[in-house]
Copies of this chain bind each other. A is one copy, B any other.
Amino acid sequence: MQRARAAAFGCLSAAVLIAVSTGCATARDVRAVARSSEPALASWREGASRDAIVDFVARTTDPASPDFVPEAERIAVFDNDGTLWAEQPMYVQLAFIVDRVKALRAQHPEWESTEPFASLLRGDAKAVAAQGEHALAALVAATHGGMTDEEFRTVVREWLATARHPKTGLRYDAMVYQPMLEVLAHLRANGYRTFIVSGGGVDFVRAFAGEVYGIPTDQVVGSTARYRYESNDGVPRVVKTGEIDFVDDKEGKPVGIASRIGMRPRIAFGNSDGDFAMLEWTTAGGGARLGVLVHHTDGVREWAYDRASHIGKLARGLDEAPARGWVVVDMARDWTAIYAASSAR
C-alpha cells in the first residue's frame, strides 16, 4: 500500500500545480441532469464499442447462454475521474481543495505564514508541489477533517452548486458523460449493481453520486480518511480526522473492491493506468468478464490525452488492451454526446 499511496500522491502533486494556477471562472448556471435514455446507449454510435457492451449484457443475462451470470454476481465497477466525469485540467476534488482553502482563509490567519497554505494562497503552485506528499496531506486534513461525513458532504454540495469549470463554464457535476449514464442505466435495468471505485475521497464522491449517478453511498468505494467516534457531550458523532487511511488507486482498487464489495466484478470501466489493476483483476476471473477503457480522443468536445498526460495517463492500458480483450472506447468516434448537461437541454 505504501507504494500505491506514494504514487497517488505523486499524481496529485503534479495536478496541484495546475489546480493552483487555474482560477475557477463562474459562468452559466447549468445543472446536470442524470438522464437515462431509451433505447439503451442512445448516445453511442453503432460500432464495435457499443456492440461489445450490449452483447456482453445480453449474453450474461440470458439464462440459455453459456455466459449467463446469476444476478447475485452481476457487479459492475466504474472509475469516476475521466470515466464518469471530466478530469481536466485538474481533478475536481483538487479544485475543491484550492477553493476551500481560500474560503477558510479568514478563519485561519495563521495560514498566511504557514506552509503549504501560504504558497497556495499566494497562487504559487510550484512551491506547493515542491513540498510534496506532506503538503498535500496537510491540505486534505485542513479541508476534509474535523467534521462529520454529513457535514463534509454538505460543504461539497454547496461548492458544486456555485463552482464552475474554467473552460466550459459548466457546473462540475454537469460534466458527467451522458453515454456513461446510459451504460449505468442499461446495466441496472439488466440486474447489474453499479459501484464507483474511485481514487478520489469517498465522501467527496458520495456527496453527489446519488443525485448524479443514481448510486447510493454504500456503492461508492474510494480513498478514505480515518474516522473517530466521539460521544463526549451526549451528541455522538463520527468525525473525519483528515488523516489518510487508504488510497483506492492502482493496486489499491482491487484491494478496495475485495475489502468493501467482497466480490470480483464482472465488468470494469476505467480510463487510465490507475485503473489497470482493477481491469486486470476483473477480467482475469472465470466466466464472462468485460473490461472497458474510455480513451480521451476528443480534443474538440472534451480533451484529447493519454500517454503524455499527468492526469489520467493511459499507456500500459493502450498497449495491452488488444491482447487482454479489453474494449477501448474512442470518445470522438463512439459518442454522439459528451456531457449530460448539454444533451439534456
The count of identical subunits is 2
CA distance in complex: A280, B75 (Å): 33
What are the interface flags for A259-275 relative to B under an 8 Å C-beta threshold, 1 for contact and 0 otherwise? 11111100000000000
Q: Are B238 and A202 in contact (CB under 8 A)?
A: no
Given contacts A229-B277, A236-B284, contact A210 B72 (CB under 8 A): yes
Q: Judge whether B281 and A255 touch: CB under 8 Å.
A: no
Query: Would A261 and B217 be within 8 Å (CB), given that A236-B277, A254-B236 are in contact?
Result: yes
**Chain B residues, Cβ within 8 Å of A149:** 258, 262
Please measure, in the bound complex, the distance between the C-alpha atom of A135 and the C-alpha atom of B195, giving whole angstroms.
38
User: CA–CA, A227 to B255, complex, Å?
Assistant: 6
- Cα A224 to Cα B251 in complex, Å, equals 18
Q: How far is the CB of A60 from chain B (nearest CB, A)?
A: 17
Judge if A113 is at the interface, Cβ distance under 8 Å: no
Most buried by B among A193, A202, A224, A229: A229
Given known A-B contacts A227-B255, A227-B259, A255-B229, A218 and B217 have beta carbons under 8 A apart: no
Given known pairs A236-B284, A264-B150, the reply for A277 and B72 (CB within 8 Å) is: no
Tell whether, in the assembled complex, residue B277 and residue A251 are in contact, meaning their CB atoms are under 8 Å apart: no
Which residue among A150, A195, A206 has the maximum number of chain B CB atoms within 10 Å of its CB?
A150
Q: Contact between A1 and B236 (Cβ–Cβ < 8 Å)?
A: no
Determine if B218 and A238 form an interchain contact, defined as CB atoms under 8 angstroms apart: no
Residues in B neighbouring A284, C-beta threshold 8 A:
235-236
B277 and A231 form a contact (CB under 8 A): yes
Compute how far the CA of A236 lies from the CA of B264 in the bound complex, rounded to whole angstroms.
11
Q: Which of A59-91 contact B (CB under 8 A)?
A: 72, 75
* B227:A258 contact, CB within 8 angstroms: yes
Give the 8 A-B CB pairs with smallest separation, nearest first: A217-B262, A229-B251, A238-B258, A218-B261, A236-B281, A227-B255, A217-B263, A206-B262
